[in-house]
Protein backbone atom coordinates (compact mmCIF):
# COMPACT_ATOMS: atom_id res chain seq x y z
CA UNK A 1 0.00 0.00 0.00
CA UNK A 2 2.14 2.84 1.27
CA UNK A 3 4.99 3.15 -1.17
CA UNK A 4 6.95 5.64 0.91
CA UNK A 5 10.25 5.33 -0.91
CA UNK A 6 13.22 7.17 0.59
CA UNK A 7 14.31 9.72 -2.00
CA UNK A 8 16.71 11.98 -0.10
CA UNK A 9 18.44 12.26 3.28
CA UNK A 10 19.84 15.59 4.48
CA UNK A 11 21.81 16.26 7.69
CA UNK A 12 22.58 19.56 9.44
CA UNK A 13 24.93 20.09 12.36
CA UNK A 14 23.90 22.85 14.76
CA UNK A 15 25.85 23.95 17.83
CA UNK A 16 23.40 25.39 20.36
CA UNK A 17 24.38 27.42 23.44
CA UNK A 18 23.38 26.16 26.90
CA UNK A 19 21.97 28.59 29.49
CA UNK A 20 24.78 27.62 31.88
CA UNK A 21 27.60 25.09 31.96
CA UNK A 22 26.43 21.46 32.05
CA UNK A 23 28.75 19.27 34.10
CA UNK A 24 28.66 15.55 34.94
CA UNK A 25 31.37 13.09 36.05
CA UNK A 26 32.38 12.53 32.40
CA UNK A 27 32.62 16.09 31.03
CA UNK A 28 31.64 19.78 31.22
CA UNK A 29 30.23 21.84 28.31
CA UNK A 30 28.74 25.26 27.53
CA UNK A 31 27.35 24.37 24.10
CA UNK A 32 25.87 21.22 22.60
CA UNK A 33 26.17 19.86 19.07
CA UNK A 34 22.94 18.58 17.50
CA UNK A 35 22.60 16.61 14.27
CA UNK A 36 19.23 17.10 12.61
CA UNK A 37 18.20 14.77 9.81
CA UNK A 38 15.49 15.28 7.23
CA UNK A 39 14.29 12.34 5.11
CA UNK A 40 12.11 12.99 2.06
CA UNK A 41 10.00 10.31 0.35
CA UNK A 42 8.91 10.02 -3.28
CA UNK A 43 5.48 11.38 -2.21
CA UNK A 44 7.09 14.45 -0.63
CA UNK A 45 6.47 13.32 2.96
CA UNK A 46 9.20 14.73 5.24
CA UNK A 47 10.40 13.07 8.44
CA UNK A 48 12.76 14.62 10.98
CA UNK A 49 15.19 13.07 13.44
CA UNK A 50 17.71 14.48 15.90
CA UNK A 51 20.51 13.34 18.18
CA UNK A 52 22.98 15.23 20.36
CA UNK A 53 25.54 12.75 21.62
CA UNK A 54 28.33 13.95 23.88
CA UNK A 55 31.73 12.63 22.74
CA UNK A 56 32.77 11.26 26.16
CA UNK A 57 29.46 9.49 26.70
CA UNK A 58 28.70 8.11 23.25
CA UNK A 59 31.92 8.10 21.21
CA UNK A 60 29.93 10.01 18.59
CA UNK A 61 29.38 13.71 17.94
CA UNK A 62 27.02 15.72 15.74
CA UNK A 63 29.91 15.96 13.24
CA UNK A 64 30.54 12.21 13.12
CA UNK A 65 26.79 11.69 12.63
CA UNK A 66 26.87 13.91 9.55
CA UNK A 67 29.87 12.08 8.11
CA UNK A 68 28.43 8.63 8.84
CA UNK A 69 25.04 9.46 7.32
CA UNK A 70 26.37 11.27 4.26
CA UNK A 71 29.00 8.67 3.41
CA UNK A 72 27.59 5.33 4.66
CA UNK A 73 23.91 5.40 5.69
CA UNK A 74 22.36 7.61 3.01
CA UNK A 75 23.63 5.47 0.09
CA UNK A 76 22.29 2.35 1.87
CA UNK A 77 18.83 3.91 2.40
CA UNK A 78 17.93 5.56 -0.90
CA UNK A 79 15.22 3.52 -2.66
CA UNK A 80 14.08 1.58 0.43
CA UNK A 81 10.52 1.78 1.77
CA UNK A 82 10.43 3.90 4.94
CA UNK A 83 8.02 1.37 6.52
CA UNK A 84 10.56 -1.49 6.34
CA UNK A 85 12.29 -0.60 9.61
CA UNK A 86 13.96 -3.95 10.43
CA UNK A 87 15.35 -4.18 6.92
CA UNK A 88 16.57 -0.59 7.13
CA UNK A 89 18.38 -1.33 10.41
CA UNK A 90 19.99 -4.39 8.84
CA UNK A 91 21.18 -2.32 5.88
CA UNK A 92 22.50 0.40 8.21
CA UNK A 93 24.36 -2.19 10.32
CA UNK A 94 25.92 -3.69 7.20
CA UNK A 95 26.95 -0.22 6.00
CA UNK A 96 28.74 0.64 9.26
CA UNK A 97 29.10 -0.95 12.72
CA UNK A 98 27.94 0.93 15.85
CA UNK A 99 27.21 4.66 15.45
CA UNK A 100 23.88 4.23 17.21
CA UNK A 101 23.21 7.95 17.61
CA UNK A 102 23.53 8.38 13.82
CA UNK A 103 21.20 5.41 13.27
CA UNK A 104 18.74 6.79 15.82
CA UNK A 105 18.29 10.03 13.85
CA UNK A 106 17.31 7.98 10.79
CA UNK A 107 15.03 5.67 12.75
CA UNK A 108 13.23 8.59 14.44
CA UNK A 109 12.66 10.23 11.04
CA UNK A 110 11.12 6.99 9.72
CA UNK A 111 8.42 7.06 12.43
CA UNK A 112 7.74 10.71 11.63
CA UNK A 113 7.26 9.72 7.97
CA UNK A 114 5.15 6.63 8.68
CA UNK A 115 2.89 8.57 11.04
CA UNK A 116 2.44 11.43 8.59
CA UNK A 117 1.82 9.04 5.66
CA UNK A 118 -0.90 7.22 7.63
CA UNK A 119 -2.22 10.27 9.54
CA UNK A 120 -1.50 8.71 12.96
CA UNK A 121 0.76 9.71 15.87
CA UNK A 122 4.05 7.79 16.13
CA UNK A 123 2.99 6.00 19.32
CA UNK A 124 0.25 4.20 17.31
CA UNK A 125 3.05 2.55 15.31
CA UNK A 126 4.90 1.55 18.51
CA UNK A 127 2.16 -0.52 20.11
CA UNK A 128 -0.40 2.17 20.84
CA UNK A 129 -0.94 4.38 23.84
CA UNK A 130 -0.16 2.76 27.19
CA UNK A 131 -0.12 6.06 29.10
CA UNK A 132 -1.20 9.60 28.14
CA UNK A 133 0.80 11.47 30.76
CA UNK A 134 4.52 10.95 31.21
CA UNK A 135 5.99 11.73 34.60
CA UNK A 136 9.16 13.81 34.44
CA UNK A 137 12.19 13.98 36.69
CA UNK A 138 14.61 16.90 36.87
CA UNK A 139 18.38 16.40 36.72
CA UNK A 140 20.60 18.59 38.90
CA UNK A 141 23.96 18.86 37.12
CA UNK A 142 27.26 19.33 38.96
CA UNK A 143 27.75 22.80 40.43
CA UNK A 144 28.46 24.22 43.89
CA UNK A 145 26.37 22.98 46.82
CA UNK A 146 24.34 26.16 47.19
CA UNK A 147 23.50 26.21 43.47
CA UNK A 148 22.43 22.55 43.56
CA UNK A 149 20.12 23.07 46.54
CA UNK A 150 18.64 26.20 44.99
CA UNK A 151 17.98 24.43 41.66
CA UNK A 152 16.43 21.40 43.39
CA UNK A 153 13.97 23.62 45.28
CA UNK A 154 13.11 25.68 42.18
CA UNK A 155 12.34 22.61 40.09
CA UNK A 156 10.14 21.05 42.77
CA UNK A 157 8.25 24.36 42.92
CA UNK A 158 7.76 24.12 39.13
CA UNK A 159 6.01 20.75 39.54
CA UNK A 160 8.74 18.14 39.17
CA UNK A 161 8.22 15.37 41.73
CA UNK A 162 11.49 13.41 41.35
CA UNK A 163 15.07 14.68 41.41
CA UNK A 164 18.09 13.08 39.79
CA UNK A 165 21.39 14.34 41.16
CA UNK A 166 24.67 14.00 39.28
CA UNK A 167 27.37 12.49 41.50
CA UNK A 168 30.64 10.65 40.90
CA UNK A 169 32.69 13.65 42.02
CA UNK A 170 34.59 12.81 45.22
CA UNK A 171 33.11 10.69 48.03
CA UNK A 172 32.94 13.66 50.41
CA UNK A 173 31.51 16.12 47.86
CA UNK A 174 28.86 13.54 46.89
CA UNK A 175 27.98 12.89 50.54
CA UNK A 176 27.62 16.58 51.34
CA UNK A 177 25.61 17.19 48.17
CA UNK A 178 23.01 14.48 48.80
CA UNK A 179 22.82 15.38 52.51
CA UNK A 180 22.30 19.05 51.63
CA UNK A 181 19.59 18.38 49.04
CA UNK A 182 17.77 15.84 51.23
CA UNK A 183 17.69 18.27 54.16
CA UNK A 184 16.44 21.05 51.88
CA UNK A 185 13.65 19.12 50.11
CA UNK A 186 12.40 16.90 52.95
CA UNK A 187 12.21 13.14 53.28
CA UNK A 188 9.43 12.38 50.78
CA UNK A 189 10.92 13.58 47.48
CA UNK A 190 12.37 10.62 45.51
CA UNK A 191 16.08 11.24 44.84
CA UNK A 192 17.90 9.30 42.13
CA UNK A 193 21.69 9.51 41.83
CA UNK A 194 23.66 9.23 38.58
CA UNK A 195 27.42 8.69 38.95
CA UNK A 196 28.11 8.49 35.18
CA UNK A 197 30.77 5.77 35.71
CA UNK A 198 32.57 7.91 38.30
CA UNK A 199 33.69 5.14 40.67
CA UNK A 200 35.34 1.72 40.67
CA UNK A 201 33.12 -0.98 42.16
CA UNK A 202 34.70 -1.11 45.62
CA UNK A 203 34.71 2.67 46.09
CA UNK A 204 31.11 2.82 44.81
CA UNK A 205 29.96 0.46 47.57
CA UNK A 206 31.83 2.46 50.24
CA UNK A 207 30.50 5.81 49.00
CA UNK A 208 26.86 4.79 48.46
CA UNK A 209 26.60 2.78 51.71
CA UNK A 210 27.15 6.09 53.50
CA UNK A 211 24.79 8.04 51.24
CA UNK A 212 21.99 5.42 51.29
CA UNK A 213 20.99 6.63 54.76
CA UNK A 214 19.46 9.73 53.10
CA UNK A 215 16.96 7.56 51.21
CA UNK A 216 17.51 6.95 47.49
CA UNK A 217 15.13 5.87 44.72
CA UNK A 218 18.00 4.39 42.67
CA UNK A 219 21.69 4.72 41.79
CA UNK A 220 22.50 5.01 38.09
CA UNK A 221 25.70 3.80 36.42
CA UNK A 222 27.95 3.71 39.52
CA UNK A 223 30.85 2.03 37.65
CA UNK A 224 32.51 2.03 34.21
CA UNK A 225 30.30 1.05 31.29
CA UNK A 226 32.22 -2.20 30.59
CA UNK A 227 32.33 -3.39 34.20
CA UNK A 228 29.17 -5.51 34.32
CA UNK A 229 30.58 -7.75 37.07
CA UNK A 230 31.44 -4.61 39.07
CA UNK A 231 27.89 -3.30 38.66
CA UNK A 232 26.54 -6.62 39.86
CA UNK A 233 28.87 -6.44 42.89
CA UNK A 234 27.55 -2.96 43.71
CA UNK A 235 23.94 -4.17 43.32
CA UNK A 236 24.57 -7.08 45.68
CA UNK A 237 26.18 -4.89 48.33
CA UNK A 238 23.64 -2.03 48.47
CA UNK A 239 19.95 -1.85 49.39
CA UNK A 240 19.15 0.76 46.71
CA UNK A 241 18.10 -0.41 43.20
CA UNK A 242 20.85 -0.04 40.57
CA UNK A 243 20.22 1.46 37.12
CA UNK A 244 22.30 0.81 33.99
CA UNK A 245 22.68 3.65 31.50
CA UNK A 246 26.02 3.76 29.62
CA UNK A 247 26.29 -0.04 30.05
CA UNK A 248 23.22 -0.42 27.79
CA UNK A 249 24.18 1.48 24.65
CA UNK A 250 22.83 -1.08 22.18
CA UNK A 251 20.24 -3.86 21.94
CA UNK A 252 22.87 -6.52 22.60
CA UNK A 253 24.19 -4.77 25.71
CA UNK A 254 20.93 -5.40 27.56
CA UNK A 255 21.45 -9.16 27.23
CA UNK A 256 24.44 -9.18 29.59
CA UNK A 257 22.67 -6.97 32.13
CA UNK A 258 19.73 -9.40 32.16
CA UNK A 259 21.87 -12.55 32.10
CA UNK A 260 24.11 -11.38 34.95
CA UNK A 261 21.23 -9.71 36.86
CA UNK A 262 23.62 -6.76 37.10
CA UNK A 263 20.97 -4.03 37.41
CA UNK A 264 17.34 -3.56 38.43
CA UNK A 265 16.52 -0.70 36.06
CA UNK A 266 17.66 0.30 32.55
CA UNK A 267 17.81 3.88 31.31
CA UNK A 268 16.65 3.52 27.70
CA UNK A 269 17.58 6.55 25.62
CA UNK A 270 16.14 6.53 22.11
CA UNK A 271 19.15 8.54 20.88
CA UNK A 272 21.67 6.21 22.55
CA UNK A 273 20.51 2.75 21.47
CA UNK A 274 19.67 3.33 17.77
CA UNK A 275 16.21 4.86 17.72
CA UNK A 276 12.61 3.97 18.54
CA UNK A 277 12.75 0.51 16.94
CA UNK A 278 15.66 -0.58 19.15
CA UNK A 279 14.35 1.20 22.27
CA UNK A 280 11.11 -0.80 21.92
CA UNK A 281 13.06 -4.07 21.64
CA UNK A 282 14.95 -3.20 24.85
CA UNK A 283 11.68 -2.30 26.60
CA UNK A 284 10.32 -5.73 25.58
CA UNK A 285 13.50 -7.43 26.86
CA UNK A 286 12.83 -5.78 30.24
CA UNK A 287 9.32 -7.21 30.23
CA UNK A 288 10.51 -10.79 29.77
CA UNK A 289 13.18 -10.41 32.46
CA UNK A 290 11.20 -8.57 35.12
CA UNK A 291 13.35 -5.44 34.99
CA UNK A 292 11.95 -1.94 34.71
CA UNK A 293 12.84 1.09 32.61
CA UNK A 294 13.07 4.84 32.42
CA UNK A 295 13.78 7.10 29.44
CA UNK A 296 16.63 9.54 29.82
CA UNK A 297 18.04 12.31 27.71
CA UNK A 298 21.19 13.06 25.75
CA UNK A 299 20.11 16.72 25.96
CA UNK A 300 18.25 16.50 22.67
CA UNK A 301 15.94 19.42 22.03
CA UNK A 302 12.42 19.19 20.58
CA UNK A 303 12.77 16.58 17.83
CA UNK A 304 14.65 13.98 19.83
CA UNK A 305 12.57 14.65 22.94
CA UNK A 306 9.32 14.16 20.98
CA UNK A 307 10.55 10.71 19.90
CA UNK A 308 11.26 9.80 23.55
CA UNK A 309 7.76 10.94 24.57
CA UNK A 310 6.14 8.63 21.97
CA UNK A 311 8.41 5.81 23.18
CA UNK A 312 7.38 6.16 26.82
CA UNK A 313 3.69 6.70 25.92
CA UNK A 314 3.68 3.29 24.21
CA UNK A 315 5.95 1.26 26.55
CA UNK A 316 4.52 -0.55 29.58
CA UNK A 317 7.90 -1.33 31.17
CA UNK A 318 9.12 2.28 31.04
CA UNK A 319 7.20 3.10 34.18
CA UNK A 320 9.51 5.28 36.25
CA UNK A 321 9.83 9.10 36.10
CA UNK A 322 11.80 10.16 33.01
CA UNK A 323 14.33 12.93 32.41
CA UNK A 324 13.61 12.88 28.66
CA UNK A 325 12.73 16.59 28.59
CA UNK A 326 15.99 17.84 30.08
CA UNK A 327 17.54 19.23 26.88
CA UNK A 328 14.91 21.88 26.08
CA UNK A 329 15.06 23.74 29.42
CA UNK A 330 18.90 23.67 29.46
CA UNK A 331 19.24 25.29 26.00
CA UNK A 332 18.88 28.92 24.95
CA UNK A 333 16.77 27.92 21.92
CA UNK A 334 14.92 24.94 20.50
CA UNK A 335 14.63 23.58 16.96
CA UNK A 336 10.84 23.21 17.05
CA UNK A 337 8.21 25.95 17.02
CA UNK A 338 5.51 24.31 19.14
CA UNK A 339 5.84 23.76 22.91
CA UNK A 340 5.31 20.47 24.70
CA UNK A 341 2.21 20.39 26.89
CA UNK A 342 3.47 20.08 30.47
CA UNK A 343 1.13 19.91 33.46
CA UNK A 344 2.12 19.33 37.09
CA UNK A 345 5.45 17.66 36.28
CA UNK A 346 3.97 15.53 33.50
CA UNK A 347 4.21 15.89 29.71
CA UNK A 348 1.26 15.00 27.50
CA UNK A 349 1.96 12.96 24.33
CA UNK A 350 0.78 14.65 21.13
CA UNK A 351 -1.99 13.07 19.02
CA UNK A 352 -0.85 14.83 15.85
CA UNK A 353 0.55 12.71 12.97
CA UNK A 354 4.14 11.47 13.21
CA UNK A 355 6.17 13.01 16.02
CA UNK A 356 3.60 15.82 16.26
CA UNK A 357 6.16 18.61 16.07
CA UNK A 358 6.68 21.65 13.88
CA UNK A 359 10.38 21.82 13.01
CA UNK A 360 12.00 25.21 12.40
CA UNK A 361 12.82 24.69 8.71
CA UNK A 362 15.17 27.68 8.66
CA UNK A 363 17.89 25.41 10.10
CA UNK A 364 18.14 23.69 6.71
CA UNK A 365 18.66 26.94 4.81
Binding residues for Mg ion (CB under 5 A): 194, 220, 245
Q: Contact 257/228 with Cβ under 8 angstroms? A: yes
Q: How far is the CB of 128 from Mg ion (least distance, A)?
A: 28
Out of 166, 235, 272, 280, the active site residue is 166
User: Between 245 and 300, whose beta carbon lies closer to Mg ion?
Assistant: 245
Q: How far is the CB of 70 from Mg ion (least distance, A)?
A: 29
Q: How far is the CB of 317 from Mg ion (least distance, A)?
A: 18
* Residue 259: active-site member: no
Q: Is 9 helix (H, G, I), strand (E, B) or coil?
A: strand
Out of 66, 269, 272, 280, the active site residue is 269
Q: How far is the CB of 196 from Mg ion (least distance, A)?
A: 6
Angle at 56 between CA 55 and CA 58, to 5 degrees: 65
Which secondary structure element, helix H or strand E, spans residue 357, and what is its range?
none
Cα(first)–Cα(last) distance of the chain, in Å? 33
Q: Is 104 helix (H, G, I), strand (E, B) or coil?
A: helix
Q: Is 100 helix (H, G, I), strand (E, B) or coil?
A: helix
Rounded to an integer, what distance in angstroms lies between the CA atom of residue 328 and that of residue 326? 6
* Residue 235: active-site member: no
- Cβ neighbours of residue 334 closer than 8 Å, sequence gap 6 or more: 301, 302, 328, 360
User: Between 174 and 220, whose beta carbon lies closer to Mg ion?
Assistant: 220
User: Between 122 and 163, whose beta carbon lies closer to Mg ion?
Assistant: 163
User: Between 4 and 298, whose beta carbon lies closer to Mg ion?
Assistant: 298
Question: Beta strands 28-41 and 6-23: pairing type?
Answer: antiparallel
Report the residue number whose CB is nearest to Mg ion.
245
- Nearest Cα to 287, choosing from 308, 266, 305? 266
> For 203, how many CA atoms within 13 A lie in the half-sphere containing its CB?
14
User: Between 64 and 322, whose beta carbon lies closer to Mg ion?
Assistant: 322
Q: How far is the CB of 136 from Mg ion (least distance, A)?
A: 15
User: Between 112 and 194, whose beta carbon lies closer to Mg ion?
Assistant: 194
Which secondary structure element, helix H or strand E, spans residue 361, and what is its range?
none
Q: How far is the CB of 105 from Mg ion (least distance, A)?
A: 20
Angle at 14 between CA 342 and CA 122, to 5 degrees: 45
Which secondary structure element, helix H or strand E, spans residue 11, and what is its range?
strand 6-23
- From the CA atom positions of the chain, what is the Rg in Å? 20
Residues belonging to the active site: 166, 269
Amino acid sequence: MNKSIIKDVEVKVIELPLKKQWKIALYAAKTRGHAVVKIITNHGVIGYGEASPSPAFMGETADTIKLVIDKYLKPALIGLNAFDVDLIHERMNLAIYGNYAAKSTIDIALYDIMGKALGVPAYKLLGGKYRSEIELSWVVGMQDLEGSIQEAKEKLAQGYKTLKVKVGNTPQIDYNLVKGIREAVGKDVPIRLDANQGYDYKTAVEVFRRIEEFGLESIEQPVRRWDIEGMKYVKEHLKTPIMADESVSSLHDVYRIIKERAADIVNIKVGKVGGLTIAKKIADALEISGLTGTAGSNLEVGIGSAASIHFVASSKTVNMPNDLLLGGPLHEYDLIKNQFEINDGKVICSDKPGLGIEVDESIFK
